[in-house]
Amino acid sequence: MVCPQRGEPAVRVAILGGYLIDGTGRDPVRDCTLLIEGKHIAGVLPGGDARGHSASAVIDAGGRTVIPGLINCHVHLEMNAGPSPLTDLADEPAESSLVGARARAAAMLRRGITTLRDCGARGWQVIGLRAAIEQGLAPGPRILACGRALCARGGHAQVVSEPVSGEIEVAEAARRQLRAGTDFIKVMATGGFGKDGEQLDHCELGVEELRAAAEVAHGAGKKLAVHAYGNQGIRNAIAGGADTVEHATFIDDETLALLRRSGTFIVPTLTNTYRVATEGARGGVAPYICETATAVWPAMLGNARRAHRAGVRMAVGTDAGSWLNPHTDIVTELRLRIEAGVAPLEAIAMATLHSAECLGIAGMVGTLEPGKLADVVIVDGDPLEDVGALARVHAVFREGAAVPPA
């Protein structure tokens, strides 16, 4: 294999002989050539042959699968994926949080995750990390960051949120996030797993407060993401103008119909609940969190299946950084989507094109098509036969630049 200089975009790269899954949901193509020129995809051609294309770097992908860069739409880079990540984050120095976030971002990129959406941090350090990555000062995926989420006073996940009460405070806090350089606004509409006695389906912020956040976000051309586990919280999110609903655990047929008609994306984050339900007790997670996760897990998986069958738009997010939920693992989420009835090819499309659509960046990334940014991952094996192949990363390109190994 002849590679470009480490971290430098090649003038022209030819990836030869790969089994191409382009992210669109179309049937894969065997033994083809993917051409990269600078930062962009220049062409996808039949036959694993670069003759006549004057490539300055040639990569043999024979026997391997070539896919678009993966997208994780729900991440917390500052959280450590330990048994008590919220408490740990509250207790550690801000400098340590930034160092940890930088290391996790770099590790995610090496595992083929080329875009992430950070859904809440203690301050605005992830926004600074985003800028450092874009300036080439640190390795990492493309980051969309909300800065701090907005939560009710005394509500869910205050360590990564700004507490608010009422429409005026919500709007003022949302504008503060925008001034800090956020890419979207995140609001905690219901309870979560954070505190003993916290109820997943309890509404902590109402429709008018969500609408106030949506007006600020949409007025600036940004999206609104709403954390909502409960059915009423999901309905409030739709009525309030949410572009995405995070978690979406308890959901009835009427709400499914509302989601389908509105085109609102849901990001179920199955991995978070699954890991706590299956590993939490022996991993040191607090008993009340384990009990809640174990109780809701069957409903969460079943409702993800129902949402898919109902035609609700779904993106991929893992809630990475939460309890026992490492940032580099996106395969568990895709495996669980397949268990919920999604075909493997569609699961990959969910983690590429559909997630790019969810984030509003499908014009740039999400598929291996000419003109798109060259976010490309080469993996060993066939992920349509074994989705675990997505964890066997052979090479990664971000915007045409080869990502060095660790």
Q: Is 101 left (phi over 0), alpha (psi -120 to 50) or beta?
A: alpha
Q: Is residue 7 part of a domain?
A: no
C-alpha to C-alpha distance for 323 and 13, rounded to whole angstroms: 40
Same domain flag for 110 and 246: yes
Domain boundary (324, 339, 359) is at 359
- Distance (Å, whole) CA 352 – CA 23: 6
Specify if 79 maps to a domain: yes
Residue 10's pLDDT band, with cuts at 50, 70 and 90, is very low
Mean pLDDT across 58-71? 96
Checking if the pLDDT of 52 tops 70, the result is no
DSSP H helical segments within 150-286, as ranges?
Answer: 166-179, 207-219, 231-240, 253-262, 270-283
- 35-49, 96-110, 224-238, 257-271: range with lowest mean pLDDT: 35-49
State yes or no: pLDDT of 3 exceeds 80.
no
pLDDT at 57: 87
Domain match, 341 and 392 both: no
Percent of the chain at pLDDT > 70 equals 96
Residue 76 lies in a domain: yes
Q: Which residues of 163-184 are buried (b: 16+ CB within 10 A; e: fewer)?
A: ebeebebbbebbebbbeeebbb
Range of the domain at 141: 70-359
Tell me if 2 is assigned to some domain. no
Mean pLDDT, residues 315-331 taken together: 98
- Residues 371 and 231 reside in one and the same domain: no
| Model pLDDT, residue 53 | 60
Q: Are residues 309 and 247 in the same domain?
A: yes
**Is the pLDDT confidence value at 1 over 60?**
no
Last residue of a domain, one of 359, 375, 391: 359
With respect to residue 25, please indicate whether it lies within any of the assigned structural domains: yes
Residue-level pLDDT at 6: 44
pLDDT at 392 over 60: yes
In this prediction, what percent of the chain has a pLDDT beyond 90?
92
Alpha helices, H only, 241-343:
253-262, 270-283, 287-309, 331-339
Summary mean pLDDT of the chain: 94
pLDDT at 197: 86
pLDDT at 373 (0 to 100): 98
- How confident is the model over 214-242, as pLDDT tens digits? 999 999 999 999 999 999 999 999 999 99
Residues 136 and 118 reside in one and the same domain: yes
Considering the domain architecture, whether residues 195 and 183 belong to the same structural domain is answered as: yes
Averaged pLDDT for residues 77-98: 96
Confidence (pLDDT) at 5: 43
In terms of domains, do 337 and 240 share one?
yes
Assigned token pair, 267: 């990001």
What's the average model confidence in pLDDT over 277-305?
A: 97
Which tops the pLDDT comparison, 50 or 106?
Answer: 106
Determine, yes or no, domain membership for 177. Answer: yes
Q: Is residue 5 part of a domain?
A: no
Instruction: Supply the pLDDT for residue 48.
Output: 63
The CATH number linked to 65 is 2.30.40.10
Residues 41 and 98 in one domain: no
Number of domains comprising the chain: 2
Please report, for the domain that includes residue 167, its CATH number: 3.20.20.140
Place of tokens 């991993």: 283
d(CA 94, CA 122): 8
- In this structure, the answer to whether residues 301 and 324 fall within a common structural domain is yes
- In a shared domain, residues 28 and 138: no
Q: Are 311 and 396 contained in the same domain?
A: no
The yes-or-no verdict on residue 311 having pLDDT over 80 is yes
Residues 111-157 pLDDT 10s = 999 999 999 999 999 999 999 999 999 999 999 999 999 999 999 99
Shared domain for 217 and 335, answered yes or no, is: yes
2: confidence class by pLDDT, cuts 50, 70, 90: very low
- In a domain, residue 151? The reply is yes
